[in-house]
Amino acid sequence: MLFASYPAGTDIAEHDHDTHNVGVITRGELVLTRGSRQERYGPGDWYEIQPNEPHAARFDIATGEIAFWFDADST
């Protein structure tokens, strides 16, 4: 489990993980990019990223989240 805070203007380049990630936004907004599709998540919204799924993240405003990273074999 990860409690994370991102200042406004944070931009995370495309990457992937070998884990299954699930998170909930606690404040602010996450702009999640998968391929050519952008999705926006605000407070109370949950997101899910599959193992090895390329994605990028942007935080235009200060944002907090709680993220859970699971071994791909355990989900």
- Distance separating alpha carbons of residues 36 and 75, to the nearest angstrom: 27
Q: What is the pLDDT of residue 73?
A: 78
What are the structure tokens assigned to 40, written together? 């926006």
pTM of the model: 0.90
Confirm if 39 and 32 have CB atoms less than 8 A apart.
Answer: yes
Confidence of residue 75 (pLDDT cuts 50, 70, 90): low
The answer, yes or no, to whether residue 44 has pLDDT greater than 70, is yes
- Beta strand 37-41 pairing with 55-59: unpaired
The answer, yes or no, to whether residue 74 has pLDDT greater than 70, is no
Distance spanning both ends of the chain, measured CA to CA: 15
- Distance separating alpha carbons of residues 15 and 8, to the nearest angstrom: 20
Q: At the top level of CATH, which class does the domain 2-74 belong to? A: mainly beta
The answer, yes or no, to whether residue 55 has pLDDT greater than 60, is yes
